[in-house]
A and B are shown apart, each in its own frame.
Chain A
Amino acid sequence: MSENTSAIIEVEGFTKTFRSRFRRRSVRAVSDLNLRVERGNVVAFVGPNGAGKTTTIYALLGLLNPDRGQIRLFGMSPSSEAARRRIGFQSEIFHTYGFKTAERALRFYGELGEMPAAKIAAAVPRQLDRLGLGAASKRKVRGFSKGMIQRLGLAQALLHAPELLILDEPTTGLDPEGRKLVAEIILEEKTRGTTVFLSSHILSDVERTCDHVVILREGTVAFSQSMASLRGGSDEWEIEVLNCTARARESIGGANVREQGPDVLIRCSGSDKNGLLRRLLEADAEIGMVRRTRSLEDFYMQYAGGSSHG
C-alpha cells in the first residue's frame, strides 16, 4: 500500500487472543476487526470495559502483534519507526518518571520523538501552558495530582505536533474543567488537520468532538457510523415541559408522556413536533429542552449496553 493513501489507519481482520501460561485458558480480546480512519478525521472508539479498545490501540502502536489480520499506519507497519514518528499517544493513565520535573519529562519524550533541541525548547513551555501546567513546569511529577499527570500525558502526546493522535481515555481522572480543555484541544487539533483516534467513555465529549463513531462490543465492531448521519438519522423527538400546568397538559393531547415529578417528557415524531411545540407555547408552557431521542447514548446502550467486563 502506498504512503500517499488518505487512510491513516487501516485495520483488516485484526484478531487477538490472549492465552494464559501453559495455554490452559484463552480470551479472545478482538475478533476480525475492520477499521479505516481517513486523514483529518476524529474517530471515537467507544465500548464497555473489556471490549478490546486498549488491545486494538496497543496493536496500533506495535506493542502487540495480531494473531490474524493486518494493521497499517500511514501505509506502514505499526512497528516501523517511521510510522511511530508521526504518532502522538496518550495512555489511559499516563505513567511517567516521578523523579523528573514536568519540563524534563517533556524534554525526554521530545528527544525520544527525534525533535531537534531548538524545537523541544520552544514546544515544551508552549504545551505546558496550553495544558495549564506552565506554573508547575519545574515541579517534580511525583507531587502532581492525577489530573495534572493526565494533562502532562496529553502534553507529551502533542509535543511534536503529530499527524495522528491516539488518545486512550484522555479524560480519565480529569475534573469538568480538564475535560472541557481536552475537548477543546481535540477540536483545535482537528482544525490543524490532525487525525484523532479517541477511545472514550464520555459520550457527550464524543458527540461534541468526533466525526465518526465506532462502537466495539466483545472484540467486534457492533456499530460504525458518521456523527452526521447519526444526528440526522433519527425522527423521534423528546420535549421536556417544566412545571407542567393543567392547561399545558391539555395541549399535549394524545402524545406519549412520561412524568418526571412536576415536569413531563413528551415523545413525538418529527412531523408532530412543530405543531405540539406551538400548542404548548400558546398554553404558556415552560419548555426545558427539545432533542432527538436517538442520542449517541441510545445507540451505545443498544449496541454495547450490558456487556461490560470491567
Chain B
Amino acid sequence: MVKLRAITLTSFQETLHRRVLYLVLILAVLIIAAMSTEMLYVRMAREAGETEAVAGMARGLFQQILATWDFAAFFLALFLGAVALSSELKSKTIVTVLSRPVARWTYLLGRWLGVLLFLWAFLFVGILGALLWGAFFGLHYSAFFWLGVAELFVKAIFLSGVSLGLSVVLPPAAAGPAAFLLTILPLMVQNAMGHPRWILRSLATAAYYLAPAHLPVDLISDSFKKEMVDPKYLLYVQVLGENLLYTGAVFLLACAVFKRRELRLR
C-alpha cells in the first residue's frame, strides 16, 4: 500500500505540473466567462419579473457550464491516461522506480490512480462551481441529474483507464484516439448491424459487442426536461457498471502485457 500510495501521489503531482492542463483550464474558464454575457439577459429578465424565463436561462447556463467542464475533463482523461506511462518512459524516471521491488501492476495502477485523483478533483471543482451557480438561481435537481454526475466520474475512469491500458501496446498519440474511437464505436456500427451482407453485419455486431456499453440518453440535460418518459434507471446504472467492468478488464489485460514488456529506452 505504501508503494502504491507513493506512486499515486507522484503521478498526481506530475499531472499538476503539466502545461497542457493549464491550457485546457484557461480555455474552459474563457468559454465559461464568454457565457457570462448571457447573465446580463438573466439579470434583465429577473428585473422584469420574468421568473419563468429566468429559471429557463439559468438552467441553460448551468448545462453549458457543465458541458464545457465535461468536455475539458474528457480531453484531459484521454490525454493524461495516454501519457501516464509514456512520459515516464520518455523521461527515463521509470528505470529507477522499477529497479526497486515494485510489481509492474502496482506501478501501472499507481500511475492511473494519480491521474484519476486529478481528474476527479477537476470534475469536483467544476461540478461544485456549477452547483453554486444553480443554488444562486434556486435550481432543483432530480435523481436523474445525480446519475448524470456519477456518469461524469465513471467516464473519467473509463477514458483514462482505457487510454492508459492501450498505451502499454500503442504510442500515446494512438492510444488516446483509440480509446475515443471505442466510445463512439457503438454509434458507428449500429446501422451496419442490419446490413444485408452477412460479413458486414457480423463485423458490425462483433464490433458492437466489443465496444463498451453506450448510454442512450444525456442524463444531465435530460434531467431538466419537465416530463421524463419512462426513465430506465436500472438500465443506466447497468451501463455505468458495465463500463467500469470494461475498464477493469482492459486494465488487467494491460497489466498482464506490461508484466512481460521490456523497457527499451533510447
A58 contacts chain B at the CB level, 8 A cutoff: yes
B264 at the interface (CB under 8 A from A): yes
Would you call A81 and B263 a contact (CB within 8 A)?
no
User: Contact flags (1/0) for A246-277 with B, using CB distance below 8 Å?
Assistant: 00000000000000000000000000000000
CB contacts (< 8 Å) of B197 on chain A: these are none
A97 to B6, CA, bound (A): 13
8 Å CB interface, A134-152 against B? none
Residues of chain A lying within 8 A (CB to CB) of residue B93: 95-97
Inter-chain CA distance A18–B95, complex, in Å, is 18
Q: Tell yes or no: B92 within 8 A of A by CB.
A: yes
A197 on interface, CB distance cutoff 8 Å: no
Check B99–A87 contact: CB distance below 8 A: yes
Q: Is A64 an interface residue (CB 8 A)?
A: yes
Interface residues on A, range: 20 to 34
Residue of B nearest to A108 (CB): B6
In the bound assembly, the distance between CA atoms of A94 and B98 in angstroms comes to 13
* Complex interface bits, B1-45 against A, C-beta within 8 A gives 1, otherwise 0: 011011100100110010000000000000000000000000000
A63 B101 Cβ-Cβ under 8 A = no
A113-B262 in contact (CB<8A): no
Is B13's CB under 8 angstroms from A81's CB?
no
Once the chains bind, are B264 and A82 in contact (CB under 8 Å)?
A: no
Is B187 interfacial (CB 8 A cutoff)? Answer: no
The number of chain B residues with a CB under 8 A from chain A is 25
The yes or no answer to B142 lying at the interface (CB within 8 A) is: no
Q: Does B100 contact A (CB under 8 A)?
A: yes
Q: Which of B6, B100, B263 has the most CB of A within 10 A?
A: B100
Among candidates B3, B5, B99, residue contacting A114 with C-beta atoms closer than 8 Å: B3
Answer whether A63 and B95 are a contact pair too, CB < 8 Å, given A109-B100, A112-B100.
yes
CA–CA, A64 and B5, complex, Å: 26
Bound CA span A65–B263, Å: 9
**CB-based contact A97/B99 at 8 Å:** no
B6, B7, B91, B102: the one contacting A95 at CB < 8 Å is B91
Chain B residues with Cβ below 8 Å from A61 are 95, 98-99
B80 to chain A, nearest CB (A): 16
8 A Cβ contacts from A36-87 to B: 58, 61-65, 81-82, 84-85, 87
| A63 and B262 within 8 A (CB) | yes
Give chain B residues whose Cβ lies under 8 Å from the Cβ of A112. 3, 6-7, 97, 100-102
A64 to B262, CA, bound (A): 5
Say which residue of B10, B17, B100, B260 sits within 8 Å of A84 (CB atoms).
B100
Q: Would you give the shortest CB distance from B191 to chain A, in whole angstroms? A: 36
**Which residues of chain B in 229-266 are interfacial with respect to chain A, using CB atoms and an 8 Å cutoff?**
260, 262-264
Cα separation A63 to B6 with both chains bound (whole Å): 21
Task: Please name all residues of chain B whose beta carbon is closer than 8 Å to the beta carbon of A99 when the two chains form the complex.
Answer: 13-14, 17
Any chain B CB within 8 A of the CB of A156?
Answer: yes
Residues of A within 8 A of B210 (CB): none
A95 partner residues in chain B, CB cutoff 8 A: 91-93, 95-96
Name the residue on B nearest A153 (C-beta). B96
B103 within 8 A of A: yes
CB distance from A100 to the nearest CB of B (A): 8
Contact B14 A89 (CB under 8 A): no
Q: Which residues of B contact A84 (CB under 8 A)?
A: 99-102
A61, B14: Cα distance in complex, Å:
25
Shortest distance in angstroms between A46's beta carbon and chain B's nearest beta carbon?
21
**In the complex, A155 Cα to B260 Cα: how many Å?**
29
8 Å CB interface, A97-116 against B? 97, 99-100, 108-109, 111-114
Q: Does A220 contact B (CB under 8 A)?
A: no
Q: How many whole Å from B259's CB to the nearest CB in chain A?
A: 9
Tell me, in angstroms, the Cα distance from A297 to B2 when the chains sit together.
Answer: 46
In whole angstroms, how far apart are the Cα atoms of A163 and B49 in the complex?
80
CA distance A58 to B99 in the complex (A): 9
- Chain A residues with CB below 8 A from B7, complex form: 112
> A111 touching B6 by the CB < 8 A rule?
yes
> Are B14 and A97 touching (Cβ within 8 A)?
yes
Residue pair B101, A97 in contact (C-beta under 8 Å): no
Contacts of A89 in B (CB 8 A): 96, 99
- From residue A22, how far is it (CB to closest CB) to chain B in Å? 15
Closest to A55 in B: B264
Residues of A within 8 A of B2 (CB): 111, 114
With a CB–CB cut-off of 8 A, which chain B residues contact A111?
Answer: 2-3, 5-6
* Contact status A113-B101, CB under 8 Å: yes
Given known A99-B17, A108-B10, A111-B6, contact A63–B99 (CB-CB < 8 A): yes
What are 21 A-B contacts with C-beta separation under 8 Å?
A62-B98, A63-B95, A63-B98, A81-B101, A84-B102, A89-B96, A89-B99, A91-B95, A91-B96, A99-B14, A100-B10, A108-B10, A111-B3, A112-B6, A112-B100, A112-B101, A113-B100, A114-B2, A114-B3, A153-B96, A166-B99
Which residues of B does A touch, CB under 8 Å? 2-3, 5-7, 10, 13-14, 17, 91-93, 95-103, 260, 262-264
**Sorted from nearest, which 5 A-B pairs have the closest CB atoms?**
A81-B101, A112-B100, A95-B92, A89-B99, A111-B6
Query: Chain A: residues with CB nearer than 8 A to chain B?
Result: 18, 58, 61-65, 81-82, 84-85, 87, 89, 91, 93-97, 99-100, 108-109, 111-114, 153, 156, 166
